[in-house]
């Protein structure tokens, strides 16, 4: 095989090799680009200034970090306001809708104060459909920013439904640049979102255009300043049916999925910030436990799984079932307490947590 | 914007800076090295396939040139390239059939078996190697004797992912010619790059919301106005996505002083479907014309009379079916090709009326013709996007009217595309000739628009044609 160089090529190359310069630029070059960049900086500066002007900001839609989750955006803004008003936050509840609907921080604070004589300020950071992975990531951001003394992770059987088949759902919120940036993975968009108010307003306006936004937002209509969003209505005992067992199927041969276990580990590891981490079982309607799978034996398997994990990790686990003290009229559906149920549960939880913390403290001493 | 993108950008400018310092012959070696590095980083297995193809075709070119049995060696070479493409690109098809068979025998295979590597840009590379072998075989081109240049012809990174499909004679000549990158070429390249990014990241990205996957997968759940608006959006989405990619590729290449072929020339302003194919994905259309259409026509002319209907219908039909199958070996792509083949065949049938040149027609007629061509092409995009059963449902939904609200937002996004087309109709880098301050304002506006869209949609979408 002959691979000699084309003589024509070689001649041309030799003739030009030493003399020819590919880059032949002359001044001025790129002035419009420099001018454009200056123009952009001016425009962005003006936008930032306007966004920070209160009278203008009042006309703008909600600030967001681009999560696409109205719940998360409301809670981030709500917690900011809560801390502005109270000076700090002592405890944060985090978890999915069962936490959002089931824990009233006000009732919890009262019961806790009665048991310990310590007055604390708590915020409910429950968000609809928040996965344990998302809870862990958000907890790290919140703990780092607000330094609460107590972080209460509310868990229920549905948390263990997440596995590799619904990986995307599990990471829906954690994948956004702002969360990643706050977790230490730098990105220009994450940085900009964190530092620029104009960007947050811009992301807010874009998010409002999403078709599901208003519908999702309406689910937080009852949201209070402490993050609690009670739900009205009562589900009758006979109305609870096995159709809602889908997410409860994980109780069969219960095992904590690998990704969820990793999230739980991340939650436990937050103790490095001097925060007391507590796991709490959010109860399910007793009728649902009876109907699903093999009933209580399966559910007990799930509880002992979490118990074993908590014991190994040396984290207090507050088990709430069986919970006969929650009246059957205290449920709005198979998974969620209504306002009356939440009131009873929150008071009970306040006492239990006070007890659990005292017990852990005495054990550690 | 991922960090890896920033790293890639820095590496690109470092590579470009070094390139400017080198002599012509070393520049080609450097470009080859950069191209393969890019390819290795992207998908190392693809780089290995490309190397194999390069060596095989380089040797085959030399053999064909020297052999007395050129036709035989040419056929062997073409077959080898087609088999490579078939093996990697269409293997899934074969695999699925085999899997169905084995499933029928109760032998359920693991789903991992389906994880088949399709080398990036292989379809485009194979078209270039085939044209090279055919041209050498027909003595239209001397076989390349410089392996570096030949390898660079196939691997040159700006055109690697999705073309343009360059012809060996023109491209290899460019590789032998000293390059000049001056103020004008830098300005033109950045203009192409910026317009390309705007088309892809702003227009195509925004339109993708209205031409969603659900629209094409479940057309029955949408109203007729939604289907029409979604389809029109898709029509402009695919155009801006691909034209945007080509602009970016040409702009990047321009910075290296190597001009790549034009791929689009206002296709949605065509006077006929044949005219559309002279303006849409031009490097591919011209390849099909030269290596499929003309040979079939010539061969048929030896068998039947030139004016025989077979000679009118068959060449465009076969050409467009092959075009469809090149995109993807699926029944819907076959249908897409057949539709375009039919359009072109009908166009070639003798029709009543006096033929006239497009620019001699009155303006109203030009508008009507362009609208009709746009409609025909747009309707044909349905099977390009979805399977046959959903295509039928989609067309049905367009015709059998189900009223509903009409969102005009897509039209507001399409408008900049039309404005860009109008401005680029005389000169594709027209902005580079604008007055200083106007250029600065245009650049600022474009960069801001790109930034805002990127911010709103932080996860990017791949170029549609990269998938082929």
Interface residue A17 vs chain B (CB under 8 A): yes
Among A13, A40, A189, the residue with its CB nearest the CB of B447 is A40
Among A5, A25, A175, the residue with its CB nearest the CB of B183 is A25
Mean pLDDT of chain B: 84
Partners of residue A18 in chain B, C-beta under 8 Å: 23
Reading the block at residue B213, the tokens are 């996957």
Return the CATH number at A112: 3.40.50.1110
Among A25, A39, A187, the residue with its CB nearest the CB of B2 is A187
All residues at 6 or more sequence positions from B219 whose CB lies less than 8 Å from its CB, including other chains = B227, B386, B390, B393, B394, B397
Calculate how close chain A gets to B392, using CA atoms only, in Å.
Answer: 28
Work out the percent of chain A whose per-residue pLDDT is above 70: 85
- Condensed to tens digits (0 to 9), the pLDDT of residues B80-129 reads 999 888 888 776 555 555 555 444 433 333 343 334 556 778 889 999 99
Reading the block at residue B206, the tokens are 């925004």
Contact A3 B23 (CB under 8 A): no
Does residue A60 form part of some domain? no
Across the range B43-65, mean pLDDT stands at 91
Does residue A321 form part of some domain? yes
The yes-or-no verdict on residue B452 having pLDDT over 90 is no
3-state SS, one letter per residue, for B319-375: HHHHHHHHHCCCHHHHHHHHHHHHHHHHHHCCCCCCCCCHHHCCHHHHHHHHHHHHH
pLDDT at residue B430, as a whole number: 77
Calculate how close chain B gets to A175, using CA atoms only, in Å.
Answer: 10
Contact A20 B178 (CB under 8 A): yes
How many CB pairs below 8 A link A and B?
Answer: 112
Q: Is A24 helix (H, G, I), strand (E, B) or coil?
A: strand
All residues at 6 or more sequence positions from A269 whose CB lies less than 8 Å from its CB, including other chains = none
Lowest mean pLDDT among A67-71, A320-324, B409-413, B444-448: A320-324
Across the range A9-30, mean pLDDT stands at 64
Handedness of CA B200, B203, B205, B207 (dihedral sign): negative
The strands making up A150-155's β-sheet, listed across from edge to edge, are: A122-126, A91-95, A150-155, A276-281, A317-318
Interface residue A20 vs chain B (CB under 8 A): yes
Across the range B456-465, mean pLDDT stands at 50
Q: Is A295 helix (H, G, I), strand (E, B) or coil?
A: coil
Calculate how close chain B gets to A44, using CA atoms only, in Å.
Answer: 9
pTM for the full predicted model: 0.76
Reading the block at residue A56, the tokens are 């203008």
Interface residue A5 vs chain B (CB under 8 A): yes
Q: In this predicted model, which residue has the larger pLDDT, A92 or A9?
A: A92
Reading the block at residue A318, the tokens are 């507050």
- pLDDT category at B365 given cuts 50, 70, 90 is confident
- Condensed to tens digits (0 to 9), the pLDDT of residues B20-34 reads 988 888 999 999 999
Partners of residue B455 in chain A, C-beta under 8 Å: 66, 189, 192, 199, 202-203
Partners of residue A68 in chain B, C-beta under 8 Å: none
Lowest mean pLDDT among B209-223, B263-277, B296-310, B351-365: B351-365
Residue A291 CA to residue A284 CA, distance in Å, equals 12
B323 burial via Cβ count (<10 Å: 0-12, 13-18, 19+): buried
Does residue A273 form part of some domain? yes
Contact B452 A43 (CB under 8 A): no
Q: How many CA atoms lie within 13 A of A238 on its CB side?
A: 0
Interface residue A352 vs chain B (CB under 8 A): no
- Single out the residue of B433, B35, B420 nearest to residue B264, CA to CA: B420
Contact A36 B441 (CB under 8 A): yes
Partners of residue B6 in chain A, C-beta under 8 Å: 188
Across the range A60-68, mean pLDDT stands at 84
Among B20, B183, B440, the residue with its CB nearest the CB of A36 is B440
pLDDT at residue B77, as a whole number: 94
Interface residue A29 vs chain B (CB under 8 A): yes
pLDDT at residue B87, as a whole number: 82
Does residue A30 form part of some domain? no
Q: Is A91 helix (H, G, I), strand (E, B) or coil?
A: strand
> Is B27 within 8 Å of A23 (Cβ atoms)?
no
Nearest residue on chain A to B191, alpha-carbon basis: A33
Q: Give the pairing of strands A122-126 and A91-95.
A: parallel
Report how far Cα B238 is from the mean position of its chain's Cα atoms: 10
Residue B183 CA to residue B192 CA, distance in Å, equals 14
pLDDT at residue B438, as a whole number: 86
Residue B368 CA to residue B300 CA, distance in Å, equals 34
> Is B460 within 8 Å of B206 (Cβ atoms)?
no
Does residue A72 form part of some domain? no
Residue B212 CA to residue B234 CA, distance in Å, equals 9
The whole domain housing A317 covers 89-166+225-364
Contact B178 A22 (CB under 8 A): yes
Q: In this predicted model, which residue has the larger pLDDT, A27 or A64?
A: A64
pLDDT at residue B110, as a whole number: 38
pLDDT at residue B271, as a whole number: 85
Work out the percent of chain A whose per-residue pLDDT is above 90: 49
Q: In this predicted model, which residue has the larger pLDDT, A327 or B101?
A: A327
pLDDT at residue B422, as a whole number: 87
Partners of residue B212 in chain A, C-beta under 8 Å: none
Q: In this predicted model, which residue has the larger pLDDT, B81 or A6?
A: B81
Mean pLDDT of chain A: 84
Residue B266 CA to residue B264 CA, distance in Å, equals 6
pLDDT at residue A211, as a whole number: 59
- Condensed to tens digits (0 to 9), the pLDDT of residues A248-292 reads 555 566 778 888 899 999 999 999 999 999 999 999 888 888 877
**Chain B: which residues have CB within 8 Å of chain A?**
1-3, 6, 19-20, 23-25, 27, 59, 62, 145-147, 149, 176-183, 186-187, 190, 257, 436-437, 439-441, 443-444, 447-448, 452, 454-456, 458-459
Residue A235 CA to residue A222 CA, distance in Å, equals 19
The yes-or-no verdict on residue A319 having pLDDT over 60 is yes
Does residue A325 form part of some domain? yes
Interface residue A118 vs chain B (CB under 8 A): no
Among B2, B186, B443, the residue with its CB nearest the CB of A36 is B443
Does residue A161 form part of some domain? yes
Among A20, A188, A202, the residue with its CB nearest the CB of B24 is A20
Does residue A26 form part of some domain? no
* Domains identified in chain A, total number: 1
Q: Give the pairing of strands A23-24 and B181-182.
A: parallel
């Amino acid at each position: 095989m002959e691979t000699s160089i084309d003589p024509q090529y070689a001649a041309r190359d030799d003739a030009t090799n030493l003399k020819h310069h590919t880059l032949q630029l002359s001044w001025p070059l790129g002035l419009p680009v420099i001018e454009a960049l200056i123009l952009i900086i001016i425009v962005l500066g003006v936008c930032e200034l306007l966004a920070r002007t209160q009278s203008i900001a009042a006309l703008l839609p909600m600030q967001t970090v681009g999560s696409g989750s109205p719940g998360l955006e409301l809670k981030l803004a709500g917690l900011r306001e809560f801390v502005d008003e109270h000076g700090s936050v002592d405890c944060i509840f985090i978890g999915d809708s069962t936490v959002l609907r089931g824990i009233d921080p006000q009732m919890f604070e009262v019961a806790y104060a009665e048991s310990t004589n310590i007055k604390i300020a708590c915020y409910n950071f429950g968000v609809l459909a928040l996965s344990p992975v998302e809870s862990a990531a958000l907890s790290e951001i919140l703990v780092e920013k607000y330094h609460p003394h107590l972080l209460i992770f509310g868990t229920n059987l549905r948390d263990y439904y997440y596995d590799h088949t619904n990986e995307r759902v599990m990471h829906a919120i954690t994948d956004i640049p702002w969360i990643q940036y706050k977790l230490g993975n730098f990105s220009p968009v994450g940085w900009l979102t964190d530092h620029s108010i104009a960007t947050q307003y811009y992301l807010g306006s874009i998010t409002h255009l999403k078709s599901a936004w208003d519908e999702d937002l309406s689910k937080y209509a009852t949201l209070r300043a402490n993050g609690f969003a009670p739900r009205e209505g009562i589900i009758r005992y006979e109305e609870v049916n096995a159709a809602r067992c889908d997410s409860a199927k994980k109780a069969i041969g219960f095992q904590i999925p690998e990704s969820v276990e990793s999230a739980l580990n991340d939650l436990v590891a937050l103790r490095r910030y001097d925060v007391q981490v507590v796991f709490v079982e959010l109860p399910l309607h007793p009728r649902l436990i009876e109907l699903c799978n093999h009933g209580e034996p399966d559910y007990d398997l799930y509880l002992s799984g979490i118990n074993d994990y908590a014991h190994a990790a040396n984290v207090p686990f507050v088990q709430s079932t069986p919970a006969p003290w929650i009246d059957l009229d205290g449920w709005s559906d198979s998974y969620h307490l209504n306002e009356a149920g939440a009131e009873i549960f929150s008071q009970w939880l306040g006492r239990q947590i006070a007890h659990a913390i005292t017990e852990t403290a005495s054990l550690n001493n | 914007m991922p960090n890896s993108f920033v790293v890639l950008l820095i590496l690109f400018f470092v590579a470009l800076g070094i390139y400017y310092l080198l002599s012509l012959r070393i520049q080609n070696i450097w470009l080859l090295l950069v191209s393969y590095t890019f390819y290795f980083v992207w998908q190392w297995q693809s780089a290995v396939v490309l190397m194999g193809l390069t060596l095989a075709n380089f040797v085959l070119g030399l053999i064909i040139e020297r052999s007395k049995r050129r036709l035989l060696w040419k056929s062997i070479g073409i077959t080898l390239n087609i088999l490579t493409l078939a093996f990697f690109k269409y293997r899934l098809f074969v695999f699925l059939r085999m899997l169905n068979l084995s499933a029928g025998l109760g032998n359920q295979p693991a789903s991992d078996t389906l994880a088949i590597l399709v080398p990036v840009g292989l379809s485009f590379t194979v078209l270039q190697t085939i044209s090279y072998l055919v041209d050498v075989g027909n003595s239209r081109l001397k076989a390349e004797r410089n392996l570096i240049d030949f390898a660079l012809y196939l691997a040159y990174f700006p055109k690697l992912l999705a073309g343009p499909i360059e012809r060996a004679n023109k491209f290899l000549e460019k590789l032998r010619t000293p390059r000049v990158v001056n103020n004008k070429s830098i300005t033109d390249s950045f203009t192409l790059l910026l317009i390309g990014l705007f088309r892809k990241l702003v227009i195509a990205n925004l339109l993708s919301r209205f031409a969603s996957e659900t629209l094409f997968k479940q057309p029955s759940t949408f109203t007729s106005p939604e289907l029409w608006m979604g389809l029109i959006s898709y029509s402009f989405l695919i155009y801006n996505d691909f034209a945007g990619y080509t602009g970016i590729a040409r702009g990047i290449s321009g910075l290296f002083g190597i001009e790549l072929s034009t791929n689009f020339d206002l296709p949605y302003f065509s006077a006929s479907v044949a005219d559309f194919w002279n303006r849409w994905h031009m490097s591919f259309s011209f390849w099909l014309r030269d290596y499929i259409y003309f040979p079939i026509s010539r061969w048929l002319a030896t068998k039947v009379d030139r004016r025989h209907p077979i000679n009118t219908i068959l060449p465009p039909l076969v050409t467009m079916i092959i075009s469809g199958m090149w995109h993807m070996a699926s029944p819907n792509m076959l249908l897409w090709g057949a539709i375009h083949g039919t359009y072109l065949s009908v166009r070639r049938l003798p029709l009543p009326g006096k033929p006239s040149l497009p620019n001699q027609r009155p303006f109203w007629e030009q508008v009507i013709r362009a609208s009709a061509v746009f409609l025909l092409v747009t309707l044909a995009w349905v099977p390009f996007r979805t399977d046959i059963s959903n295509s039928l449902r989609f067309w049905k939904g367009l015709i059998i009217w189900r009223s509903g609200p009409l969102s005009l937002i897509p039209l507001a996004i399409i408008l900049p595309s039309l404005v860009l087309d109008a401005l680029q109709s005389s000169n594709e880098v027209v902005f580079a000739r604008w007055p200083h301050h106007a250029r600065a304002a245009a650049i600022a506006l474009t960069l801001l628009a790109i930034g805002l869209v990127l911010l709103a949609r932080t996860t990017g979408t791949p170029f549609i044609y990269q998938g082929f």
